[in-house]
Amino acid sequence: MSRPPTAGFGQVLAVREFRMLWLAQLVSVGGNQLTRVALSLLVFDRSASAGLAALTYALTLLPELVGGPMLSWLADRCARRGLMVVCDLVRTGLVAVMAIPGTPLWLLCSLVVAVQLAQSPHLAARSALLPTIAPGDHYLPASAVVNLTAQLGQLAGFAAGGAAVAVLGPSRALLLNAATFTVSAVLTRYGLERRPRPAGGPPTGGRWSVITGGAGLVRADRRLRLLVAFGTVSGFYACKEGLATPYAHALGQGPTGVGLLLAASPAGAVVGMFVLTRWVSPDRGLRLLGPLSVASCAVLTFTVLSSNTAVTCALWAASGVFSAFQVPANAEYSRSVPDSERGKAFGLASAAVRMAQGVGISLAGLAADHAPASVVITVFGAVGAAVSAVLALRWSRMPGRPTEAAVVEPVTAPIRPFPRPRASSKDLE
């Protein structure tokens, strides 16, 4: 019978540094989702365009296409705690400007891009730091807690987002998000130990080589390429997030309905991550990557048959449950990358995932201007299931993972994996 990880959630949360990292993530993630709801509703109200609303939502994802590979190398060249604090303070200022009433849409969009660019090195540093804070058998449950937090933050932000925007208004909601970044900076600065920049030789091949090193690292390893590809599957099942507003509108629902629809997938992901982490061994979790990836998209094909919000929420929650395959994928990716290269590697993976999500949401939004949102989501689910099936077949033919000695770093070096995913990623986030 397969054995689950030795360490549990309680043991991981007993580590003070991890608790501080976790709390900092919790407050900022919730604020981020509140901002996404506020912007989506604001743009849709002004333009009445599903395409423009989805494109605005995608702007919170697409900048990592540039910021991931171009800025994440900073996590391998700077002290990671200090880098995270600076990024949080930069985002505080940018979001505070967004909160000014009457800010033109073009300026809002520009500021959203800048905020997400600042997020890229922050996520890379946090991802690279986790394996040091939670080494050995603490790593997988710590990774699960981080991913669960990302999903719970989205759940709370999305569920309360519509109501909060209705009560506070978009400007105050954005100001609240700016405050969360300040809290995150304080928790990071005073909750984590000071560590020097990552050990490793000086960069070779010039600055461009330093920036693009993550792509070369992943390109040279077929296992890493497949793990990144599994992360990009989220671009298919994430399309529903960009279409939640027009979909709810078609069903006669308002902001509360939008919030419930957006909360369904993170709620399912919380359940899926908990089950996969506590009752499924790491090796079996890797074997389930393919089937769960297919299921996360396939269940969305039933959206076109749904006639009410409750049924759709159940379908989207099921998709979230199956999307928990990203947790073992993220952990395996981290174990396969050396510490001195983790910032760039995670930046590349995050960029790939965010690009897939941003492009998927954008294309789905444009398609929804010409076809019902439910039909668009169904088509994206079917295509995603087909792509996942191909990846599942290739993954099943992969040899076993190299021995732990080849990939595990000394406990003394600083590190961690992506949020979330995202998801998210998120996801391979």
Q: Supply 257's token pair.
A: 């309905």
Higher-confidence position of 41 and 171:
171
Helix (H) or strand (E) holding 142: helix 139-168
270: left (phi over 0), alpha (psi -120 to 50) or beta: alpha
Residue 129's DSSP bridge partners are 415
3-state secondary structure of 251: coil
Per-residue model confidence (pLDDT) at position 424: 38
CA 214/CA 69 separation, integer angstroms: 7
Per-residue model confidence (pLDDT) at position 350: 77
CA 152/CA 281 separation, integer angstroms: 23
For the chain, helix (H) and strand (E) counts, in that order, are: 22, 2
Q: What confidence tier does 385 reach under pLDDT thresholds 50, 70, 90?
A: very high
Distances (CA, A) of 411 to 42, 96, 131, 133, 138: 47, 39, 8, 8, 12
**pLDDT tops 50 at residue 427:** no
CA 96/CA 171 separation, integer angstroms: 9
Contact 111, 99 (CB under 8 A): no
Which DSSP string corresponds to 380-425? HHHHHHHHHHHHHHHHHTSPPPPPHHHHPPPTTS-B----EEBEEE
Q: What confidence tier does 401 reach under pLDDT thresholds 50, 70, 90?
A: low
Query: What pLDDT digit, counting tens, does each position of 279-314 carry?
Result: 887 788 889 999 999 999 999 999 999 888 899 999
CA 91/CA 159 separation, integer angstroms: 23
Q: Supply 372's token pair.
A: 């019902």
Q: Supply 48's token pair.
A: 């009445």
**pLDDT tops 80 at residue 137:** no
In order of start, what are the domains of the chain with their CATH numbers?
A: 10-197+209-399+414-426 (1.20.1250.20)
Return the closest-CA partner of residue 282 out of 140, 394, 391, 147. Answer: 140
Q: Supply 146's token pair.
A: 């981080």
Query: What pLDDT digit, counting tens, does each position of 227-281 carry?
Result: 999 999 999 999 988 888 888 888 888 777 887 888 888 889 889 988 888 788 7
CA 135/CA 155 separation, integer angstroms: 28
**DSSP-derived secondary structure letter, 308:** S
* Phi, psi values for residue 424, rounded to 5°: -60, 140
| Model-wide pTM > 0.75 | no
Query: What pLDDT digit, counting tens, does each position of 312-355 carry?
Result: 999 999 999 999 898 888 888 877 887 777 777 777 787 788 77
Contact 2, 284 (CB under 8 A): yes
**DSSP-derived secondary structure letter, 217:** H
**Least reliable range by pLDDT among 194-208, 233-247, 332-346, 367-381:** 194-208
Contact 329, 418 (CB under 8 A): no
Task: Give the side-chain half-sphere CA count within 13 A for 126.
Answer: 34
**How big is the chain, counted in residues?**
429
Helix (H) or strand (E) holding 426: strand 423-426
Q: Supply 400's token pair.
A: 């076993």
Helix axes 222-232, 326-335, angle to 10 degrees: 150
Per-residue model confidence (pLDDT) at position 54: 64
**DSSP-derived secondary structure letter, 341:** G
Average pLDDT over residues 40-66: 64
